[in-house]
Amino acid sequence: MEKIKDILPHGEGFTFVDEIIQIEKGKHIVAVKRVKEDEFWVPHHFPGNPVMPGVLIVEAMAQACALLALISFPDLRGIPFYLAGVKEAKFKKPVVPPSQLTLEAFFETKKGNVWFFDAKASVDGVEVASAKIIAVNEPQKK
């Protein structure tokens, strides 16, 4: 399988998917983010009691969604894929290092260049977050 860094456009330090465990093209992906004790946010959120920020959990879920789309439809690569919306986000338990965040995303539908996904994140089989992810892919305007 291709390397994640060759699929996602995110730079070093802002890729929140470390490994793809399973993919059913056009339907479903299971991926992993290893939450380490040396993450950039650990000393700041919160000092002495690090908790992974919810926005980073959402970003990890959104990146899993992007990977599902870009692996399923490789002709979309090179066209920016942006997070356009997050609905029904729920955070059920804090995520603390060290832990393994399992990301699961399901493709729901596509309307034009707008994509809809259902995503969830879990640690040790316990769901910690979920959200409806909306993404859009469109060429940049010059």
Judge contact between 43 and 93, C-beta under 8 A: no
Rounded to whole angstroms, the Cα distance separating 50 from 37 reads 9
Nearest partner of 34 among 117, 104, 96, judged by Cα:
96
Q: How far apart are the first and last CA of the chain?
A: 33
Give the separation between CA 5 and CA 107, rounded to whole angstroms.
Answer: 21
**Is residue 45 annotated as a catalytic residue, yes or no?**
yes
DSSP, collapsed to helix, strand or coil, labels residue 56 as helix
Among residues 10, 28, 44, 45, which one is catalytic?
45
Q: Six-digit token pair at 111?
A: 């309307």
Tell me if residue 28 falls in helix, strand or coil.
strand
Enzyme catalytic residues: 45
